[in-house]
Amino acid sequence: MNEIRAIIVDDESAARDVLQSLILRSKSPINIIAQCSDLEDAVTTIKIEKPDVVFLDVQMPNYAGYEIASFFDTIDFEIIFVTAYDQYAIKAFELSAIDYLVKPINRQRLQEALSKLENKFEQKEESEKFHILLESIQKNDLGKIVISELGNKRIIDLSSIIAIEAKGAYSVIHLKDQTSFMVSKNLKYFESTLPEGDVFFRSHKSWIISTNFIKYYNKGKGVIVLNQDISARISRYRIQEFDSLLLLK
């Protein structure tokens, strides 16, 4: 699952630190990108950072947490309210908050709220993928792949991919516009996701290449040189299959 970007808003520094510590010790893929001490600071930070979720204290000076709705035309982020009083739960759900936590925060209760948050984002991610797929089918264009990158979705034309290189549990995608970027998916994921055919070939445990961008091939050295002088490896166990594939091109 993609990283969930979060902001903690509470007028008490100790309370912010405790919540951040509990979140970091949880099993959820949440990155705390900022802490704010009041609602006004939070509104500014939210507009700049565009978090996925805000952990929002209810009782704060100047403005209560639930007054956040008056600062935005549309709330396009999730909210988990944090309060010392259970009575604010009704107000929380009037604002469509995904959940609320009562201080002092119970670790199990926090994990329940985080699990609910993760499930919502997973459903949203699957919905986005479905709509992209549906749009591709309607346009009779299945030559795209959806790549998750820093919490965003990037739609890549398969025809623009030169190669995908393994970097541990991550992968680097090299594109024909001379850009490349890293994603938190391994090569096995791309091997199962990319369409079958004679274009993409798993040449090595660390490489998937596009045969449309081959410049030359040195069988003796076990190297395939692609556009932009990208040198990919080829395993000796894949050479025969690769030779047969080249005959079909």
Question: Does residue 215 carry a pLDDT above 70?
Answer: yes
Q: Tell me how far apart the alpha carbons of residues 202 and 200 are, in angstroms, rounded to a whole number.
A: 7
Residue whose pair of structure tokens reads 């948050």 in the numeric block = 117
Mean pLDDT computed over 136-156: 63
The verdict on pTM exceeding 0.75 is no
Non-local (6+) Cβ contacts of 216 within 8 A are 225
Average pLDDT over residues 63-81: 90
The 10s digit of each residue's pLDDT in 82-106 is: 988 777 666 666 677 888 899 999 9
Position 192 scores a pLDDT of 82
**What is the distance between the alpha carbons of residues 57 and 60, in angstroms, rounded to a whole number?**
7
pLDDT of residue 84: 84
pLDDT value at position 245? 82
Number of other residues whose CB lies within 10 A of the CB of residue 162: 22
Contacts of 203 (CB under 8 A, 6+ apart): 209, 224, 232, 233, 234, 235, 238, 242
Q: What pLDDT, on the 0 to 100 scale, is given for residue 1?
A: 59
pLDDT at position 152? 61
The string over 222-247, giving b where at least 16 C-beta atoms fall within 10 Å of a residue's C-beta and e elsewhere, is bebbbeeebebbbeeebeeebeeeee
pLDDT at position 126 over 80? no
Q: What percent of the chain has pLDDT over 90?
A: 52
The residue-averaged pLDDT of 69-91 equals 84
Q: Given this model, what pLDDT does residue 174 score?
A: 95
Distance CA 36, CA 9 (A): 5
- Tell me which CATH homologous superfamily contains domain 144-248: LytTr DNA-binding domain (2.40.50.1020)
Q: How far apart are CA 73 and CA 181, in angstroms?
A: 34
pLDDT bracket for residue 79 (50, 70, 90): very high
Single-letter code of the amino acid located at 48: I
Domain ranges of the chain: 4-123, 144-248
- Split at pLDDT 50, 70, 90, the class of 9 is very high
The C-alpha angle with vertex 53 and arms to 19 and 100, in degrees rounded to 5, equals: 60
* Distance between CA atoms of residues 25 and 111, nearest Å: 10
Of 242, 172, 170, 169, the closest CA to residue 200 belongs to 242
- Residue 180's H or E segment, with its range, is strand 180-183
**Domain 4-123 - what CATH class?**
alpha beta
Angstrom distance (rounded) from CA 99 to CA 37? 21
Structure tokens at 187: 């090569």
The tens digit of pLDDT for each residue in 24-68 reads 999 889 999 999 999 999 999 999 999 999 999 998 989 989 899
For residue 181, what pLDDT is reported? Answer: 86
Place of tokens 């166990």: 237
pLDDT average, residue stretch 154-176 = 90
* C-alpha R_g of the chain: 24
Q: What is each CA distance from 229 to 33, 176, 217, 223, in whole angstroms?
A: 38, 11, 12, 11
Lowest mean pLDDT among 90-94, 106-110, 150-154, 238-242: 150-154
For 187-209, how does the pLDDT look when each residue is reduced to its tens digit (9 = 90+)?
988 888 787 777 899 999 999 99
Per-residue model confidence (pLDDT) at position 123: 76
pLDDT score recorded for residue 198: 79
The Cα–Cα gap between 164 and 187 comes to 8
